[in-house]
Amino acid sequence: MAVYTDINEDDLRQFLKAYDVGELLSYRGIAEGVENSNFLLHTEKFPLILTLYEKRVDEGDLPFYLGLMQHLADRGLSCPLPLARDDGEPYGRLCGRPAALISFLEGMWLRKPAATHCRELGVALARMHIAGQDFELTRKNALALRGWVDLWDKSAARADEVQKGLENEITEELASLEDRWPVDLPEGVIHADLFPDNVFFIGDKLSGVIDFYFACNDFLAYDLSICLNAWCFEKDGAFNVTKARALIEGYQSVRPLDKEEIEALPLLCRGSALRFFLTRLYDWLNTPAGALVVKKDPLEYLRYLRFHRSVETASEYGLERT
């Protein structure tokens, strides 16, 4: 939930002059997204999303994020399309912040996705990976191994405040991942944050993917491992192998995984579980009590991490043995 920056009508009208959208009829702050301030606009022509980029998004990365959305939309993927300004720039400035106007995608994110939705997700993810292959810009994954070590350095000393024994467990896990992390899997542009609230459906049909503000270049199969974590655990912590199988089958129906990717999957899942554990832990330890955000429990991802450590081969994710 977030509207960090409020805007007034005069400033907004001024901002909109650079776009061909007709008269502004209404704007309302929307209570979704935690990194930026988002408004839903109705104009004479069509509904739009206005995003103001807050300090957690580096302005230097905007051409990558916005260019990627444009690139994917041009290739037929259903994702928000940044509107170009009359001067050709992909974003402007509002309330002292970079601000972009983006097409509004109909659809709803699913609070309780089922296996059939996981299959749709797998198909869309693989299509995105293929469509991203010829995108010309690149962005390093700031939350890869090196970033995990940095985050852990800032949190390790206080980790046992959250759960006793955590400092040892994570230090060992990180060392093990540094030791064994793959170096030569197929790479490309990944979404890197494809949680259920970033995927819209109308009925059972996937209608769009949003929020590309963690997108970067990394192993394609790492993106799949993020989805396995984000979509396939039940509220009680149980891993739902039916959902995992549907997700992987959907993915492979478009882009078959190679042998090395399949073998690496349990390790990649440990890595992505650790990545979300570490950012949540950092926020948990550093968010002031009065802040207007809901802190997410890091221990949820610790449980996922432990599950993946117990996995011996990718067949436990529902992958057919070959």
Nearer to a copy of itself by Cβ, of 21 and 130: the residue is 21
Question: At 23, is the secondary structure helix, strand, or coil?
Answer: coil
- 290 touches a copy of itself by CB under 8 A: yes
Candidates 18, 21, 34, 40; binder of a copy of itself (CB under 8 A) is 40
Site size for a copy of itself (CB under 8 A): 35
- 1 touches a copy of itself by CB under 8 A: yes
Facing residues of 306 across strands?
A: none
What gap in Å lies between CA 268 and CA 252, rounded to an integer? 17
Kindly state the smallest distance separating residue 259's Cβ from a copy of itself, in Å: 38
Nearest Cα neighbor of 159 from 284, 287, 52 is 284
Candidate segments 212-220, 233-241, 265-273, 289-297, binder of a copy of itself by CB under 8 A: 289-297
- Write out the two tokens for 75: 């290739």
- 8 touches a copy of itself by CB under 8 A: yes
What gap in Å lies between CA 230 and CA 216, rounded to an integer? 18
DSSP annotation of 288 reads -
Candidates 5, 19, 21, 27; binder of a copy of itself (CB under 8 A) is 27
CA 91-94-100 angle, 5° bins:
30
Within 10 Å of residue 223's Cβ, how many Cβ atoms? 25
- 289 touches a copy of itself by CB under 8 A: yes
Mark residues 44-63: x for contact with a copy of itself by CB under 8 A, - for none: ---x----------------
- Given strand 108-109, what is the order of strands in its sheet? 108-109, 199-202, 205-209
186 alpha-carbon distance from chain centroid: 19
Question: At 52, is the secondary structure helix, strand, or coil?
Answer: strand
- 10 touches a copy of itself by CB under 8 A: yes
- 14 touches a copy of itself by CB under 8 A: no
- 294 touches a copy of itself by CB under 8 A: yes
Kindly state the smallest distance separating residue 36's Cβ from a copy of itself, in Å: 13
Candidates 95, 110, 241, 254; binder of a copy of itself (CB under 8 A) is 110
What gap in Å lies between CA 54 and CA 97, rounded to an integer? 7
CB 233 within 8 A of CB 240: yes
Candidate segments 99-107, 231-239, 251-259, 265-273, binder of a copy of itself by CB under 8 A: 99-107
Binding residues (CB under 8 A) for a copy of itself: these are 1-3, 6-10, 23-32, 40, 42, 47, 105-108, 110-112, 200-202, 289-290, 292, 294
